[in-house]
């Protein structure tokens, strides 16, 4: 589990947060790819 930036939103993101986490991971992956290239 990644530490939530705002602990207050943790309970809310328990169910809906999974999609947001996937988007964040994808964005980080894209940034990493751009940096490597």
With a cut of 60, say whether residue 7 has pLDDT above it: no
Provide, rounded to the nearest whole percent, the portion of the chain with pLDDT above 70: 54
With a cut of 70, say whether residue 36 has pLDDT above it: yes
- Mean pLDDT, range 11-27, rounded to an integer: 74
DSSP, res 9: G
Structure tokens at 34: 């751009």
Gap between the Cα atoms of 12 and 8, Å rounded: 8
Per-residue confidence band for 1, with pLDDT thresholds at 50, 70 and 90: low
Give me the residue label for tokens 């990644």. Answer: 2
Give me the half-sphere count of Cα atoms (radius 13 Å) on the Cβ side of residue 12.
7
- Inter-residue contact 13 to 20 (CB < 8 Å): yes
The confidence score (pLDDT) of residue 21 equals: 82
């Amino acid at each position: 589990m990644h530490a939530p930036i705002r602990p207050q939103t943790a309970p809310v993101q328990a169910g809906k947060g999974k999609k947001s986490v996937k988007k964040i991971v994808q964005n980080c992956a894209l940034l990493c790819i751009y940096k490597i290239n």
